[in-house]
């Protein structure tokens, strides 16, 4: 499963690291045809990358981690947006809940909850894929500030087409293509994850303040940094 030497992250960054996001996405889709998937939260900003994908190849698998603790609005938005964009292969990935049948683990140990409901199901779902596309951006967290557009994630290539995008570019893209908004954005949720771990953000707060409020963490553990360590730090 190791990517061939001529398509390593280093070489792709050298050639396409500063290219338009759509171009970087198209290159990855072409080179990894049939072996690539996009992971989407169907959250506040997800429509941008999904729209780009739909314009290139709407049949590429899109994986939504349905932790069973998502907002019902997210599941409804997934249906609406998928239909709007003509996405043909949206797969809801669900956890094995036997270790947390009453769904209370997040109150005692949120890291273990993310491991059960996100990390393990995603690792299983990505078997058979050699490359994965994410919507992560550098401005989102300090941990992502130096994130490359193409990076290795274990044996897999990870593509972050929007790595260098700003919040203003995201907003402008929504306007340009009149993309539907997640319904919770208008209710004060600039970032949207699981319901128990997402709260409204007050005026003047950073957008990420609403995730895992009160905890010193900004990542759920499904992403790995360039050093191969799980991204968790605040």
Site residues (vs ligand SF4, CB under 6 A): 67, 69, 106, 110, 113-114, 117-118, 193-194, 196-197, 220
84 annotated as belonging to a binding site for a ligand: no
Between residues 106 and 138, which has the closer beta carbon with respect to ligand SF4?
A: 106
Under a CB-based contact definition with an 8 Å cutoff, are residues 182 and 198 in contact?
no
Residue 219 CB, nearest distance to ligand SF4 (Å)?
A: 10
Query: Active-site residue 220, yes or no?
Result: yes
71 annotated as belonging to a binding site for a ligand: no
Strand partners, 92: 64
Between residues 162 and 222, which has the closer beta carbon with respect to ligand SF4?
A: 222
Between residues 11 and 217, which has the closer beta carbon with respect to ligand SF4?
A: 217
113 annotated as belonging to a binding site for a ligand: yes
Strand partners, 65: 93
Rounded to an integer, what distance in angstroms lies between the CA atom of residue 157 and that of residue 180? 30
Report which of 184, 223, 215, 178 is spatially closest to residue 201, judged by C-alpha positions. 184
Annotated catalytic residue, options 220, 222, 223, 231: 220
Residue 1 CB, nearest distance to ligand SF4 (Å)?
A: 27
Nearest residue to ligand SF4 by CB is 194
Residue 111 CB, nearest distance to ligand SF4 (Å)?
A: 7
Strand partners, 132: 37, 158
Between residues 19 and 112, which has the closer beta carbon with respect to ligand SF4?
A: 112
Report which of 110, 149, 121, 128 is spatially closest to residue 21, judged by C-alpha positions. 149
Between residues 108 and 127, which has the closer beta carbon with respect to ligand SF4?
A: 108
Per the structure block, which two tokens stand in for 8?
Answer: 């390593």
3 state SS for 28-69: HHHHCCCCEEEEECCCCCHHHHHHHHHHHCCCCCEEEECCCC
Residue 122 CB, nearest distance to ligand SF4 (Å)?
A: 11
Rounded to an integer, what distance in angstroms lies between the CA atom of residue 54 and that of residue 179? 12
Residue 28 CB, nearest distance to ligand SF4 (Å)?
A: 27
| Burial degree of 96 (CB within 10 A; 0-12, 13-18, 19+) | exposed
Rounded to an integer, what distance in angstroms lies between the CA atom of residue 46 and that of residue 64? 11
15 annotated as belonging to a binding site for a ligand: no
List the binding residues for [4Fe-4S] cluster: 113-114, 194, 197
Report the catalytic residues.
220
Could you list the residues known to form a binding site, using ranges: 113-114, 194, 197
């Amino acid at each position: 499963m190791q990517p061939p030497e001529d398509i390593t992250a280093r070489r792709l960054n050298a050639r396409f690291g500063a290219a338009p996001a759509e171009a970087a996405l198209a290159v990855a889709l072409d080179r990894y045809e049939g072996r690539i998937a996009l992971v989407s939260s169907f959250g506040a900003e997800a429509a941008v990358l999904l729209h780009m994908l739909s314009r290139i190849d709407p049949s590429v698998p899109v994986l939504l981690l349905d932790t069973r603790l998502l907002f019902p609005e997210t599941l409804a938005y997934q249906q609406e947006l998928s239909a709007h964009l003509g996405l043909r292969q949206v797969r809801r990935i669900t956890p094995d809940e036997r270790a947390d049948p009453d769904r209370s683990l997040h109150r005692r140990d949120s890291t273990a909850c993310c491991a059960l409901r996100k990390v393990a199901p995603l690792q299983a779902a990505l078997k058979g894929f050699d490359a994965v596309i994410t919507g992560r951006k550098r401005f989102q967290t300090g941990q992502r500030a130096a994130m490359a557009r193409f990076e290795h994630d274990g044996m897999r290539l990870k593509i972050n087409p929007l790595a260098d995008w700003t919040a203003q570019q995201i907003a402008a893209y929504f306007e340009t293509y009149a993309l539907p908004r997640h319904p919770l954005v208008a209710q004060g949720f600039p970032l949207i994850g699981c319901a128990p771990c997402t709260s409204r953000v007050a005026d003047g707060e950073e957008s990420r303040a609403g995730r895992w409020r009160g905890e010193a963490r900004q990542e759920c553990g499904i992403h790995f940094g360039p050093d191969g360590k799980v991204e968790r730090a605040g």
